[in-house]
A and B are shown apart, each in its own frame.
Chain A
Amino acid sequence: MSKLRFAAGLVAGRLALNTFKLLGKDYQTDRLGYLPVKICPDFATHVARPKVAIAITGTNGKTSLTNLISDILKQCGNTVSCNNWGGNYMGGQSWAFLNSVNVFNKSQVDYIVMETDEGDSAITYPVTKPDNILINNIARDSIFKNPNPDFIMSRLRKAMEGTPESTLILNADDPVSCFLKTNKKNIYFGIADLGNGTPEYLINDFRVCPNCGGTIKYLYKNYGNIGKVVCPDCGLKSPEADYLGVEVANDHICIKEPDGSINRYPTISGDIYNAYNIVEAVALFRTLGIPADKIAEAIGKVKLPSIREERYQGKEIEVVNRSLKNSNGTAATVQFESLSKMKDDMAVILMLDEVTGNNRVEAITWMYDSDYELLNCDHIKQIIIGGERCLDHKLRCLLGGVDKNKISTCKMAVDTFDYLKLEGIKKVYILYDIYNTERSHAVFEKIRERID
């Protein structure tokens, strides 16, 4: 019966997928992935396996990392099926499997690369059974969605029980997720102390030792709450990284391997969280046996996905349009911290509201999980806030110490451009919620025209 259901799901799914392709329709959609699942709930389990199936999850950065891994594999000459549009629920994952085989269930690709939702992992992993599972980080997320790390870690622990053969690739510098156990093998990645000290942020979800209840001490933080911890009472400490970034620069990163050798790789941006993405990707590829020089060459040819960041350097001013996960204090703090560390005089445009006037009111809880205090620095000359919640953001900025005279607000995100003053500044950063992608891109284009 199960075989029949699978055959019916596969035929229906492939037929629909091929029809969409023939008609030139957008065939990268969760909808097509859900079709075979409706007929055969454990569809992915029966799909012929490629060489390797890789799952990427975590709170922040998984779409970027998924695209990075897929692109590098392709640059290395592999064929890949990937739900790279952010479709990280069962539909998107099922699509990656459906797209990987022909109607006779013959694998047509070398790799399946899946972005996977961390909250759904307990449901999806026992079905998709990834060979490798990469966990970026687990942090406090939108209260609407995956509200606290405890809740997500309970889902991930359950997920691991359902896929005991998977190799886990874990961030040794993320205290929340690094202690996750698997039945088979854990591989750890991390970056050495970059000398940032141990700044305190509003969110710190690993303050109490899970073993003894003692007060956790950070030895260093490389960004946000990503760093090394120890419990002075019972000795619990972050695991040693098998793949350790030992030198991080804007254009390269040197990574120490388990045998002590060090290889140099290009970076995809100067941001520290993308350096972590590179170390994580390298940990995966080296585990899969891909030579370091081949990985380095491939990284040099890939870019961040444009849905996450676009940049334009005008004659004197650079404009950066960067997405920020909605209603997520962890992501906001990381971005604010990144801006605070820059030197150039800049204007910052915030388009961080999800709701745009459809009679739904958006909760503002996350604003007080976000360290707006980091925006209180001399080189940030102007903050323009666009969206339904602009007055709440303004109050939060003021409570964070930002000078009132630097702040402008408008209810329509696209109107932020009208308030922008370019005199004397070198950079404009637009931080946008992913629901504002079109609006932020429109403003980005307007600024681009003006600075040319």
Chain B
Amino acid sequence: MIIEVLYPELGTLYGEAGNLIYLKACCPDAKVIETNHKDVPYFVNHDVDVILCSSMLERFQKTAADALRPYKIKLYELIEKGKVMLFTGNASDLLGQYILREDGSKEEMLKLFAYHTEIKKRINSLILADFEDMQIIGYKAQNGQIFDSKDFGFLKVKGGMGNNREDSNEGIHYHNLFVTYLTGPFLPQNPLFMKYLLRLLNRDDKVAFEEEALEAYENSLREYTDPAISYDLIWHNV
């Protein structure tokens, strides 16, 4: 099994290394290829099973899009073929049309999907959402809000913000591509979704440290479903 991580040097912010840590723990035989933005992605000339791309510094979003642009047709072919991909945090923006910055400037992205991103005031939010028969929990810290994405919504948000203030859909789900602004350790925090991914990969769906991961998830879920909870989080400076 091959896991390709795109451009880890550009960010891997907010604990999103946790997704790779958990994937590796669940698939101990997996080989991890970390691709630098100056190199040709491994998926261009080789078969890969999973592609990960995580949050990056905003100034690197254009760098990442420019690096991927020559290979976007190949990337789209792999999406159509049902390759498992997870784009988290502001890596979500790469697959859309463009990013509209606060100063009005536009950065062109890969245009694989119709949505675009608008940079607005930063939002920190807890998220409680549904995906198929699962409840998904997590956290968002974002300047960007996604618009025009509703045909391919990934999560149905029950608590917290979706793609934008008016859209309760969160992220993009198309074949086995999962795009979400949920940042941080999405997979270890959601072991049921990790099981779902393992099934997509035709693997035994027993996750690493299953008992402990489920116990932590259920404990968090109790908190996230507490009616008294406030999903919006505000903090100094951000």
Q: What is the interface of chain A, defined by CB distance below 8 A to chain B?
A: 89, 117, 119-120, 140, 142-148, 150-151, 202, 207-208, 213-215, 329, 359-361, 363-369, 391-392, 394-396, 398-399, 404
Indicate if the CB atoms of B209 and A369 lie closer than 8 Å.
no
Distance from A384 Cβ to chain B, minimum over Cβ atoms (Å): 16
A143 contact from B14, B59, B209, Cβ within 8 A: B14
B14 contact from A359, A365, A391, A404, Cβ within 8 A: A365
Q: Which residues of chain B (32-82) have a CB below 8 Å from chain A? A: 36-38, 57-60, 63
Known: A148-B13, A208-B9. A394 touches B216 (CB 8 A): yes
Instruction: For the complex, give the distance between the alpha carbons of A329 and B14 in Å.
Output: 9
Q: Decide if the interface of chain B is mainly helix, strand, loop or mixed.
A: mixed
Known: A391-B215, A395-B212. A146 touches B237 (CB 8 A): yes
Known: A394-B216, A395-B213. A365 touches B183 (CB 8 A): yes
Closest to B216 in A: A391
Indicate if the CB atoms of B38 and A213 lie closer than 8 Å.
yes
Instruction: For the complex, give the distance between the alpha carbons of A81 and B121 in Å.
Output: 37
Known: A144-B235, A368-B16, A395-B212. A363 touches B38 (CB 8 A): no
A398 contact from B9, B12, B212, B238, Cβ within 8 A: B212
Enumerate chain A residues within 8 angstroms of B176, measured Cβ to Cβ: none
Instruction: For the complex, give the distance between the alpha carbons of A404 and B208 in Å.
Output: 13
Indicate if the CB atoms of B229 and A365 lie closer than 8 Å.
no
Q: Which residues of chain B (142-192) have a CB below 8 Å from chain A? A: 183-185, 188-189
Known: A361-B223, A366-B15, A369-B14. A144 touches B212 (CB 8 A): no
A146 contact from B21, B22, B36, B238, Cβ within 8 A: B238
Q: Which of A146, A213, A363 neighbours the largest number of chain B CB atoms within 10 Å of its CB?
A: A363
Given contacts A119-B236, A359-B226, could you give 19 more A-B pairs where the C-beta distance is less than 8 Å? A144-B233, A144-B235, A145-B237, A146-B238, A148-B57, A150-B59, A214-B38, A361-B229, A363-B126, A363-B139, A363-B184, A363-B233, A365-B185, A368-B16, A369-B17, A395-B216, A398-B212, A399-B21, A404-B212
Enumerate chain B residues within 8 angstroms of A366, measured Cβ to Cβ: 15
Closest to B218 in A: A391
Instruction: For the complex, give the distance between the alpha carbons of A339 and B213 in Å.
Output: 26
Indicate if the CB atoms of B220 and A361 lie closer than 8 Å.
yes
A364 contact from B21, B37, B184, B224, Cβ within 8 A: B184
Distance from B101 Cβ to chain A, minimum over Cβ atoms (Å): 14
Enumerate chain B residues within 8 angstroms of A144, measured Cβ to Cβ: 124, 233, 235, 238
Enumerate chain B residues within 8 angstroms of A207, measured Cβ to Cβ: 9-10
Q: Kindly state whether residue B141 has any CB partner on chain A within 8 Å.
A: yes
Indicate if the CB atoms of A399 and B25 lie closer than 8 Å.
yes
Q: Kindly state whether residue B105 has any CB partner on chain A within 8 Å.
A: no
Enumerate chain A residues within 8 angstroms of B10, measured Cβ to Cβ: 207-208
Q: What is the interface of chain B, defined by CB distance below 8 A to chain A?
A: 9-10, 12-18, 21-22, 25, 36-38, 57-60, 63, 124, 126, 139, 141, 183-185, 188-189, 208-209, 212-213, 215-216, 219-220, 223-224, 226, 228-230, 233, 235-238
Indicate if the CB atoms of A364 and B9 lie closer than 8 Å.
no
Instruction: For the complex, give the distance between the alpha carbons of A156 and B236 in Å.
Output: 16
Indicate if the CB atoms of B60 and A365 lie closer than 8 Å.
no
Indicate if the CB atoms of B216 and A399 lie closer than 8 Å.
no
Q: Which of B13, B126, B141, B230 neighbours the largest number of chain A CB atoms within 10 Å of its CB?
A: B13
B230 contact from A147, A360, A399, Cβ within 8 A: A360
Indicate if the CB atoms of A365 and B63 lie closer than 8 Å.
no
B126 contact from A329, A361, A367, Cβ within 8 A: A361
Instruction: For the complex, give the distance between the alpha carbons of A71 and B215 in Å.
Output: 48
Indicate if the CB atoms of B189 and A364 lie closer than 8 Å.
yes
Indicate if the CB atoms of B22 and A359 lie closer than 8 Å.
no
Known: A144-B238, A213-B63, A366-B15. A399 touches B188 (CB 8 A): yes
Enumerate chain B residues within 8 angstroms of A396, measured Cβ to Cβ: 188
Instruction: For the complex, give the distance between the alpha carbons of A202 and B219 in Å.
Output: 26
Indicate if the CB atoms of A359 and B15 lie closer than 8 Å.
no
Indicate if the CB atoms of A147 and B36 lie closer than 8 Å.
no
Known: A144-B235, A395-B209. A215 touches B36 (CB 8 A): yes
Distance from B178 Cβ to chain A, minimum over Cβ atoms (Å): 18
Indicate if the CB atoms of B235 and A145 lie closer than 8 Å.
yes
Pairs A–B under 8 Å by Cβ, sample size 16? A119-B237, A143-B124, A143-B183, A148-B57, A150-B59, A213-B63, A215-B38, A360-B233, A361-B223, A363-B233, A364-B15, A365-B15, A365-B184, A367-B18, A392-B216, A395-B212
Instruction: For the complex, give the distance between the alpha carbons of A388 and B20 in Å.
Output: 25
Distance from A339 Cβ to chain B, minimum over Cβ atoms (Å): 20
Instruction: For the complex, give the distance between the alpha carbons of A360 and B226 in Å.
Output: 10
Distance from A14 Cβ to chain B, minimum over Cβ atoms (Å): 28
Indicate if the CB atoms of A391 and B212 lie closer than 8 Å.
yes
Instruction: For the complex, give the distance between the alpha carbons of A392 and B59 in Å.
Output: 32
Instruction: For the complex, give the distance between the alpha carbons of A361 and B213 in Å.
Output: 17
Instruction: For the complex, give the distance between the alpha carbons of A365 and B188 in Å.
Output: 11
Q: Which 5 A-B pairs have the closest CB atoms?
A: A368-B18, A365-B184, A368-B15, A365-B15, A391-B216
Instruction: For the complex, give the distance between the alpha carbons of A42 and B146 in Å.
Output: 40
Enumerate chain B residues within 8 angstroms of A360, measured Cβ to Cβ: 229-230, 233
Known: A399-B21, A399-B25. A369 touches B15 (CB 8 A): yes
Enumerate chain B residues within 8 angstroms of A119, measured Cβ to Cβ: 236-237
Indicate if the CB atoms of A150 and B57 lie closer than 8 Å.
yes
Indicate if the CB atoms of B212 and A365 lie closer than 8 Å.
no
Instruction: For the complex, give the distance between the alpha carbons of A55 and B229 in Å.
Output: 39
Known: A361-B126, A367-B185, A391-B219. A147 touches B17 (CB 8 A): no
Instruction: For the complex, give the distance between the alpha carbons of A120 and B236 in Å.
Output: 9
Known: A359-B229, A363-B184, A391-B215. A399 touches B139 (CB 8 A): no
Distance from A357 Cβ to chain B, minimum over Cβ atoms (Å): 10
A368 contact from B36, B185, B236, Cβ within 8 A: B185
Instruction: For the complex, give the distance between the alpha carbons of A367 and B224 in Å.
Output: 19
Enumerate chain B residues within 8 angstroms of A329, measured Cβ to Cβ: 15
Enumerate chain A residues within 8 angstroms of B36, measured Cβ to Cβ: 215
Closest to A202 in B: B17
Closest to A358 in B: B228
